[in-house]
Amino acid sequence: MTLLADRYQLEATLGAGGMGIVHRAHDTLTDRIVAIKQLRSDLARFQPEVFERFAREAEALRQLNHPNIVQALDTFQRDGEHYIVMDYVAGDDLATALKHEPKMPISRAARIAIEIADALTRAHYLGIIHRDLKPANILIAPDGSARLTDFGVAYLGERDRVTRGGITIGTPDYLPPEVFNNQRGDERADIWALGVILFEMIGGQHPFSAENLPSLMLNVLINPPPDLEELRPDAPLSLVDLIYRMLAKEPSDRIPTARLVGVGLETVIQRAQITPLPTDMRANLGQRFQPPTPVQQRHNLPAQATPFVGRDGELRMLGLMLEDPYQRLITLVGQGGMGKSRLAVEAGMRTINRHISHTDLFPDGVYFYSLTQISGIDKLLTLIADGARFQFYQGESPKSQLLDFWSDKRALLIFDNCEHLTSELELINDILYAAPAVKIIATSRARLDIAGETLLTIEGMDFPDMLTVDLSEYSAIQLFVQSARRSKPGFQLRPIDFNAMIEICKLVRGMPLGIELAAAWVEVLSLPEIAAEIAHDLDFLGTEAQDAPERHRSMRAVFGHSWELLTPEEQQGFSRLAVFRGRFTRQAGQAVTGATLRQLMTFVNKSLVRRDADSGVYQIHELMRQFAEEQLEAAGELEAMRAKHSRYYIEALVQLRRDMQSNRQLERWMDIYADRENVRAAWLWAATNGQFVPLADSIHSMGIFFDMRTQYIEGSALFEQICDLLYKHPPDPDRDRALAWLHGWVTIFRTIFRQVASAHEHLAAMREAVNRSRDPETHAWLNFCIGLVERILGHAPSSQEYFRRAAAEFTALGSPWDNAHALLNLAVSSYFRLESRQTDISMGILAADEALSTLESLGDVYVRAHVLEERGHLATLIEDFDRGLALMEEAANLHRTVGNQLGVGSTLLKLALTRAVVGQLEQGRVAAEEAYALYRDANNLAQIATSLEIRARISFFEGKFAESAELAQEVVHLSLRLQMPEYRISALILRGRCEWALGRLGPCEETFRHAYIAAEDINHREDMSIALAGAILVKLAQRNLADADALIEVLLIMAEHATDFNQIALATSLRGRVMHMLKQYEEAVDHSLRGLTLLRDSSRVRNSYVWDEGLRHEFIALVTQGLVETYRALGRIDDARQTVRDAVALAQRSNFPAVIVAVVISGAGLLFALGQTEEAGALLARQIENPVGFAVERYRASALLARIRDQIGDESFARVVAQGASLSMDDCVNLLLERL
C-alpha cells in the first residue's frame, strides 16, 4: 500500500472529479481513518486558478472548527502533488439520500437544515461564504448528522484574491438570481442555496428544475417556485413561508442571515410539535445561533423608503476607495437627479453592515450631513457637531473643539449637496488635515477643488441601447418597474412596451430622478404616451409628492438650480450649446457657438456637459438641452445658432464627398455616424429655410451612409421628410437638383424592400426633377438608380445596360470614383439574386477588374476592398476556389485595416460559405459566427439574417439538421420584420430541407408550400422549382405517385420554358424516381441518367442563392439510390456497381457527411442483393447510428437490417452490429469499394 508523508496509508479511492481524487486512508500516527483530497498534478501545472481554489479550500477548512463542517486535519505536498487531509465521514451525501427518499420526513429535513444553517452561521461569522452549497456537498454521518464540505469556491472575505471577472462561480442549480446577473453573491447566496435544498428535501423536487441552463436561468430569475403546500400538504405553513422567504428573488427581500434561518427552523419545530430533536441538539439550540453581538455602530444615515437598485460598479469602486488610506476625500460628481445622495447613503450603510460582520472600517461612526440650506462656516460647524452628538464647551473656538473631537476618530462623514459652498470648503479641508483617520464622501454638481480630492463621476444608470433578450438585467429598467409599482401596484413590463421603455431610458439618459418621475405616470398613461410626452415637454416630469426635496420635484427645478449657479456669461455660452443634438466636438462647439475651451471645461466641472476622456467629445443631457434651448430662445439667439449649426454640418458632408476619393474616407464616415443626429437637425433646418445648393451637394454622402449601414427605413423616412419640405418652396433648378438626389436614394431604398409601387413613384419624380434641373451629374445618377432597381427586381440585361451608361457618364464628368462604383454594381449584377440561367460571371469579372484598375490609380481603399470581395466571390462561382479565397482574404484584411467592420462581416460571410463548399466546415462556421457577432453588435438586421442563414447552411452541411432548422426559422422571422421576401424564401427552402432530413414529412410539405407561394409572389421561378421539388419528395416518400407525377409535369413545363438546367435536372431526376416506383425500369434509367448527367456537370448546373453544392449532392445521392435499385431490377449488376463507385467518389469530394451516408447505404443495399450479407449488415448498422444521415435513408437501412437479422439469426446479427460499431466512415467507404 502507498504511504504518504510517512504517515497516511492509502486504502481505497472514494471518488474522483474535475479537480482530483479523494482517497480513504489510515492515519498511522493517530490510528484513525481519514479522507485525503489529492489535486490533479496537470491542473496544478497548467491551471493555476484551480490550484488557488484547492488552496482556498484548505485555508477555509483550517479556520472552520465546527461539528457540522468537515474539518481539515493536515495539508502537505509530495513530489509536486498537493493534498488536504480531512475528517472521514462514512455515510452517503445528501444527494444520494434524496435519490432513495425524495420526500424526507419533516423532522429529518428540519434537522439537516438546522445543522447546515449552524455551520453557515459559523462560516459567515468568519467572513467565509461557501458559494457552492448543494446536496452533494452535504455528507450524512452514520448518526444522521449533517457535515458541510467542499469549500473549494468559497469567498474568504478580505483574503480573497482570486479573480473571476464575469465568471459564474458554483453549481448553476443552486445559484441565486443575483449571481446569474453577474453580481457577486454575499451570505444571502448561501441562504438561497439552503432554501433550494430544503425545498428539495420537503417537496421532493428542485424548485427551478429545467432541461437546460437557459431555461434554468429563466426559472431562477423570473418564475416562482412550485406550490410547496400542494407538493407537501403535511408541511407546516410557517415552514413553507420560511422556505419562500429564503427563495426571494431580491437579496434584500431574503432572510438576511443564516442565524435567523436557524432560529426560524427552531420556531417551526417548536410550534408545529414536530418529532423532537435529540436532547443534546435541543440543549444547544439556544446557543447555536447566538454569535457575539457587536456593539452597535453610531450613525445618523437617513432611512430609505425603497430598496436600493443598481449601481454595483460605483459601489464596488467606492468600496475600494474607502479602503485605500490615500483616498481621503471622494467627491461624487454629477448632474442633479443622478442619485448621488442615495448612492452615498448606500455606501455608508454598507460600511455599517461590515461593522456588524466584524470587518470594520469606521468604528467611530458614519455621519450624514445635508448641506442644501447651509451658508457660512458657523452653520456648518453646528450641523456637524449636532450630527455627531458633540456639544461645544467654554474656552476654545468651536472650530478648534470640533477638529480636536475628530482628530483621533476613524469615521466616515458624508456631506451632501456641496456645489454651492465657497468659504465653507475650508472647514472640510481642515477636518482632513486634523483627523488623519476620517474619510469624507461629498456629493456635488461640480468638483470642490480641494487638495487630494478624488472624483467619481456619476452618470445615468445602465439601460439597453436596443431590444435585448432580458431587459430586467439593466438597473434603469429595475428602477422604473420598482417606482411604477408605487403608483400602480402589480405593474408588469409587457413585451409590447419594451421599445417604449428603452426610449424613456434614452430620453432621460438613465437619470434616476427622471426615471422615477416618468414611472409615476403609469397609472394614467401607457409607456409610449409617457415617452412621447417626455420628448416634447420638460414640465411633464414632475411630482407633487411632499416627501421629495423641492429641488427634486421636477426636472425644471433640478436644472433651474444648476442654472442659477452660473454667471451671465456662462449662461449665454451654455444656452448656445443647446443647438447640438447628443454630442459635439470641441471644434464644432467653438465654430458654432464661439465657446472657449475654458468655458467648455467649466461646464464639464459643473456637470452640465460630459466629456469623454478617450475621444474628447462633449455630450449634453437631452433634458438639460431642452431647458437650455428655452433659455436660448428667450434670449433671441435660437435661429442664429441654428443657422450656424446647419452650415457647419452640411459643409462637413460636402467635404465628405471629396474625401470619399482619399484614404480619409473611413475616418470621415465614422464622424458622420457619430454626429448623425446633428446632421439630421442641420438638414431639416436647411430644407426649411431654402438652402438648396449646400443641401444638394451633401445628399449623396448621406445616401451612401445609409446604404453602407443598411439603414434603409431610416434613410427613406429622412429623405422623404426633406422632399416634403423642399416642395413647399417655389420651383428652382437647385431645388430640383436636390430633389433628384433625394428621390433617387428613396427609389433604391424602397426597391430593396420590394415596395415596387412606391419605388416607381419616386423614380418618376426623379426623372421629372432631373429633366427640370438639366444637371448632367443627376442624369448619370438617374441611370445608376434605374440600374440598381432593375438589378434588385431581377431584370439583369436592363440593369447591366443602365450601369454601363452610368459608368460612361461619370467618366465623362471626371468622377472616377463614381465610375468605379457603377462598375462594382455592374459586376454584382452579373449574379446577384439571379437564377442560375441568368448569370454572366465572365462579364462580372471584367467589370470588377476594370473597377480595381480605376481605384488603384485613385489610392482608394474603401471601395477597393468591396471590389476585391466581389471579385473573389465571382472566382468561386466558376469554381476557382483558391483564387476566390485569396482575394476575399485580402478584402477582409483591407476592411480591417480601414476599420470597416460591416465590410469585414460581408466578406466573412462569403468566405464562410465558400469554405463550407470546399469542405472546410469548421473554418466556415468560425467565419460565419464572427460575422454574426459583428452585425449583432451593429444591430444590422439584414446582415444578421444573412449570417444566420449561412450558419444554418453550414449546420446543414455538418448534419446538424435540427440546429439548422432553428436558425432558418430565425431568418424567416427576421425577413418578415424586414419585409425582404428573398430572405424568407431561401430560409423556408432550407427549413424544408431540414424537415426532410429529419423525417418530418408533414411540416416539410407545409414549409415547401409556403416557400412556393412566396416565390410565386415575386416570380422567382427557380425558387418555385426547388420548393416544388421538395414537395414532390414528400409525395414520393408517402408513395402518392399520382400527385408526385402531376407535380413533376408542372416542374418540367417550368424548366423547359425557362431553359434552366438546374430545373431540368431536378424534374428529370424526380421523373426517373417515379418511373422506378411504377416498375417502368427502362424509362427510369433514361430519366435518371439524364438528370444525373446534368447534376454532375457544373458548367451547366450552377449555384445560385438557393441552389448550392449541398442541394446538388443531395439529389445526386437520391438519383444514385434509385438508379442502383433500377439496375438491380434489370439485372445490370455491373452498371449498378459502377454507379455506386462514381457516387462514392463524388460524395467524398463534396465533404457532405449526409450524402456520404446515403451513398454507403445504397452500396450496402447492393452488397446485400449480391449475397454479401454480413458486410452489408456491418455497413448498415454503422449508418443507422450516424446522426448526420437523412432520416429517410436511415429508415431504409433499418428495413434492410431487419431482413438481414431474419436471414442470419440473432447471434450472428449481434456480431455484425458489433463489427459495424467499430468502423469509422472512412472504413465504411473503403470496405464498400473493396467489396464492389
Query: Residues with catalytic annotation?
Result: 132
Measured in residues, the chain has a length of 1236
Rounded Cα gap, residues 446 and 332, in angstroms:
9
Rounded Cα gap, residues 63 and 629, in angstroms:
64
Residue carrying the nine cell digits 427645478: 557
Intra-chain end-to-end CA distance of the chain, in Å: 58
Rounded Cα gap, residues 898 and 660, in angstroms:
13
Count CB atoms within 10 A of the CB of residue 1203: 13
Rounded Cα gap, residues 40 and 35, in angstroms:
16
Rounded Cα gap, residues 403 and 1216, in angstroms:
94
User: Phi and psi dihedrals of 1108, rounded to 5?
Assistant: -120, 180
Of 625, 614, 611, which Cα lies nearest the Cα of 333? 611
Rounded Cα gap, residues 1003 and 990, in angstroms:
13
User: Phi and psi dihedrals of 691, rounded to 5?
Assistant: -90, 75
8 A C-beta contact, residue 401 and residue 332: no
- C-alpha 860: how far from its chain's center? 35
- C-alpha 693: how far from its chain's center? 44
Give the DSSP letter of residue 609: S
Q: How many CA atoms lie within 13 A of 257 on its CB side?
A: 16
Rounded Cα gap, residues 934 and 619, in angstroms:
26
Residues near 374 by beta carbon (within 8 Å), at least 6 away in sequence = 380, 383, 421, 424
Q: How many CA atoms lie within 13 A of 1019 on its CB side?
A: 6
Rounded Cα gap, residues 503 and 497, in angstroms:
10
Q: How many CA atoms lie within 13 A of 1089 on its CB side?
A: 12
Residue carrying the nine cell digits 465628405: 656
Of 53, 85, 92, 54, which Cα lies nearest the Cα of 71? 85
Rounded Cα gap, residues 1136 and 1167, in angstroms:
10
8 A C-beta contact, residue 343 and residue 332: yes
User: Phi and psi dihedrals of 1119, rounded to 5?
Assistant: -65, -40
Sequence-ordered alpha helix ranges (H) in 831-918: 841-858, 862-877, 881-898, 901-917
Count CB atoms within 10 A of the CB of residue 469: 8
Of 1093, 1051, 1057, which Cα lies nearest the Cα of 1074? 1051
Supply 255's cell numbers.
432572510
Rounded Cα gap, residues 1038 and 922, in angstroms:
36
Sheet containing 72-78, strands listed edge to edge, beginning at the edge strand earlier in sequence: 3-4, 8-16, 20-27, 32-39, 81-87, 72-78
**Amino acid letter, residue 478:** Q
**Amino acid letter, residue 928:** A
Of 839, 737, 749, 750, which Cα lies nearest the Cα of 780? 737
Rounded Cα gap, residues 147 and 70, in angstroms:
6
Sheet containing 366-370, strands listed edge to edge, beginning at the edge strand earlier in sequence: 366-370, 412-416, 439-444, 329-333, 453-457
Rounded Cα gap, residues 362 and 346, in angstroms:
15
User: Which pairing describes strands 20-27 and 32-39: parallel, antiparallel, or unpaired?
Assistant: antiparallel
